[in-house]
Structure 1
Amino acid sequence: MSELISESSSTSLEKEIRALRLELNEFRNEVTTGKTHSLLNEFKNQCAGDFLNASLGNNLNSIRNESNECTMWDHCEPVFTEYFDSLSGFAIKGELSDDNVSSIRNKFGQMKERAAEESKKCLNCFQHAETCFETQIEMLQEMGFCKPDNGDIQVQDLPEDQISILIGDALSSAARVQILKALHDDAKSFTALSKLTKLRGGNLLFHLDKLQSKGLIRQREERGEYQITLQGLNLMNSLIDVTKAMSFRV
């Protein structure tokens, strides 16, 4: 009898040990998977930061060339460096969200306005820096480093005033939609846009200024080519879904 009890206890103990081993293995897998995801995210964020840091020198050299050996360069260089470093800092921490990028844009926009009051030459440098910044943002977004903040937005959360001002005003003209379509894939000169839209002089300039004021397009430099901004690109891509949903004829 005692031997039977002993065998039964041994079998029960073996089952408990096997169960514990299974639980331990599952726990290890979960921990390993969690660590793997964490390490991958850290690596991804570091790659984004390294990409931005590596391009900093090229951006500064490009802006310096635009300055035409301005005597204020030594004063402005730290300003531009901080501008790009702030983007790199968010990237390394995995915080490249729309809100954080917008905060950098707004801060830089304020500096740009003050620079415009000081000198036209200063404005050229700031516009060139802004172009470099937007190019980096577009590349980061294409590589999947930027995180949208509005994934859970609901209909009731839509900002009425901002939408009506941005879309209602900017897209109330077929000519402006045509300009955005023309700039969707490539930057174009004023002359090229004039040929495409059949608009001349002040008429075309009116529509370009309207789109620029809404942040949908920008001019690379004074009298340079026009190009669509990230906001303009997102808007046009969103309109594809709207067109499909509304069953418009295309």
Structure 2
Amino acid sequence: MNKNFESEISDIREKLEEIHRDIRTFTEDSNREHLESILTFVRDDYSNVLEKHLIDDIKIGLSKNMVKKCDRLEQCRPIFTDILQKNAALIKQASVDSEIIDKKRVDIKNLRKGMPYDKCDICFSEATDLFEKQVSLMQSLRIYEVKKDKKQDISLLPSQSVIDDMLDPLCHTKRFEILKAVSGQSMSFSALSKLTDLRGGNLLFHLQKLSDSGMIIQRHERGDYMITGKGFWVLEGISDIYSSLIPEEN
């Protein structure tokens, strides 16, 4: 009788685990569908605004951070502007091939080889930073994805960038709760206030942290908050790591 009982318990446990896996898969798929609908909305409605933002960023960045006292300034600035503006225009496409981005990176590096001064590094560093910001936005919108077979060498991970872009934004419990909440649906400021028990400036501070890191966006001024591709990937990565480190309860 005990053997029959244990067998029934085992069958029930297996069934519960199966149901748990199904629910988790359904939730993940639902979140992906939600994310895709959000990204489609952003791409369709805000592509022109995003392109204008990137172009303005180019003008400000190059004007502010290129070497002022240089006899090649008026030659180099139009070249950088042209490269970056053409790259910014890709934000309006439904998909950007990784080979295009790789080629543009190589083109920028090759330009540097033909420049005569050590101080040219300053200008090329600014152009490269602007370029990578554009690529990061494309990744968040899921119109550009890095090839999965390319693995980042751990020794080359930029420590400060990893901390600023991923670890610091999520090191606070309330910010982690916010990101989890908007991974399943867009949420208003008042709904997030109720969820986190934060008010006014306190909640805005945490929302700004997540927004500055590119993990969430706001539909429009005073609109709902939504997760970005970057936010979703980071959250998925944390979930995978946590699942592999923490054994499931029996």
Rg larger for = 1
TM-score by length of 2: 0.47
Bigger relative CO (Cα 8 Å, ≥ 6 apart): 2
TM-score by length of 1: 0.47
